[in-house]
Amino acid sequence: MSSAVAVTTAEFDEKVLKSDVPVLVDFWAVWCGPCRMVGPHVDAVAEEFKDTAKVMKVDVDAEGEIAAKYGIMSIPTLLYFKNGEVADQVVGAVPKAVIAEKLQKLVG
């Protein structure tokens, strides 16, 4: 079971853009090998930051509108939101430490 919460187009504004804490959004797809590599890292970061940030997942096949809005061309793409704005991003499979470090900078 994933610690990261799936978010839909309908919920995106409320759960991500209006969040009072930083939000990491993992744009992924079931068929994406690198996404499967990063998935456990994203889940671990979700657990690690559960009291200070949110971690969400967007399936680009099911929620193409959000992916298009943010210009997602390659997956996995991790977007870091703070105060409703994209504050940082990572494209491709990266180690857990990189994912956590960028989120820690936003949490403070």
d(CA 21, CA 40) in angstroms, rounded, equals 22
d(CA 99, CA 4) in angstroms, rounded, equals 13
Model confidence at 1, in pLDDT bands (50, 70, 90)? low
pLDDT tens digits, 42-76: 999 999 999 999 999 999 999 999 999 999 999 99
Residues 6+ apart with CB under 8 A from 46: 2, 3, 4, 5, 24, 55
- Catalytically active residues are 32, 35
Domains and CATH numbers, the chain: 5-107 (3.40.30.10)
Q: What mean pLDDT is predicted for residues 84-107?
A: 97
Look over the chain and give the mean of its residue pLDDT values, rounded to a whole number.
Answer: 96
Assigned token pair, 23: 């939000």
